[in-house]
């Protein structure tokens, strides 16, 4: 499974990228707004940090507007992935852009039927929002299972990018289902490291090492 980080905070991205565990970045207008920087500027900065796909979302909701914005965004860097909503105009733009060799992330997916349409439109990624489904009493992981079953049956190349991830268990369950990517807020990505038995074991090892009075370097 690939790990993307869902943020526009370049300091966080640099820190996580240095671990070697980061495969890409997803952003949205809300995340970019928090930085106080110009949208194109922040996307350029992120693309210089991360070699993998960097999702940059269009603000327009009509086809012509999406295409105009997409042409601007994809010129920023080769790893820009144009993010479009799962609407008729969004899928039309997706089909046109992927036909030109541009990576496209179709976002705001909440049903298997929508995911099927995204794959038919040639999306590079489809982003089902598991946490938001859980919030309204539906099962986000059931949706991932349905999408993976459909995609595997037809050998679609579209990658399932699990979004709205709230906890490590979302990541683990999505990985067990074979999802290709999970995009995580920095705190959730960092929480994957945590286990009390790891902390306890490390403390015991260090205490025993200290008793030897030795150094390695």
Per-residue b/e over 24-56, b at no fewer than 16 CB within 10 Å?
Answer: bbbbbeebbeebeeebeebbbbbbebbebbbbb
Which is catalytic among the residues 2, 78, 83, 157? 83
**Token couple for 183:** 């995009």
**Token couple for 25:** 């970045």
User: How far apart, in whole angstroms, are the C-alpha atoms of residue 46 and residue 171?
Assistant: 23
Q: How far is CA 81 from CA 28, 89, 101, 139, in A?
A: 12, 17, 11, 28
Are the C-beta atoms of residues 105 and 125 closer than 8 Å to each other? yes
- What are the helix (H) ranges across 36-179? 39-49, 63-73, 88-99, 112-120, 130-135, 140-154, 168-176
User: How far apart, in whole angstroms, are the C-alpha atoms of residue 111 and residue 185?
Assistant: 22
| Cα 96 → chain centroid | 22
Q: Assess whether 83 carries a catalytic annotation.
A: yes
CA angle 187, 30, 103 (to 5 degrees): 90
Residues marked as catalytic: 83
């Amino acid at each position: 499974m690939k790990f993307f980080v869902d943020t526009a905070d370049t300091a966080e991205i640099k820190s996580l990228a240095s671990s070697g565990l980061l495969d890409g970045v997803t952003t949205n207008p809300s995340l970019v707004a928090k930085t106080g920087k110009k949208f194109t500027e922040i996307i350029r900065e992120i693309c210089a940090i991360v070699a993998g796909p960097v999702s940059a979302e269009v603000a327009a909701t009509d086809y012509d507007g999406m295409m105009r914005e997409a042409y601007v965004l994809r010129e920023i860097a080769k790893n820009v992935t144009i993010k479009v909503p799962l609407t008729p105009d969004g899928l039309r733009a997706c089909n046109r852009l992927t036909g030109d060799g541009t990576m496209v992330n179709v976002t705001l997916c909440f049903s298997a039927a929508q995911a099927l349409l995204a794959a038919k439109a040639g999306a590079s990624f489809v982003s089902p929002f598991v946490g938001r489904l859980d919030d309204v009493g539906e099962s986000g992981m059931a949706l991932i299972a349905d999408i993976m079953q459909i995609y595997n049956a037809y050998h679609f190349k579209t990658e399932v990018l699990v979004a709205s991830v709230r906890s490590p268990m979302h990541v683990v369950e999505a990985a067990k289902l074979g999802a290709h990517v999970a995009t995580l807020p920095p705190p959730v990505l960092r929480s994957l490291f945590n286990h009390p038995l790891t902390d306890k074991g490390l403390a015991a090892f260090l205490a025993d090492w200290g008793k030897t009075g030795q150094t390695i370097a």
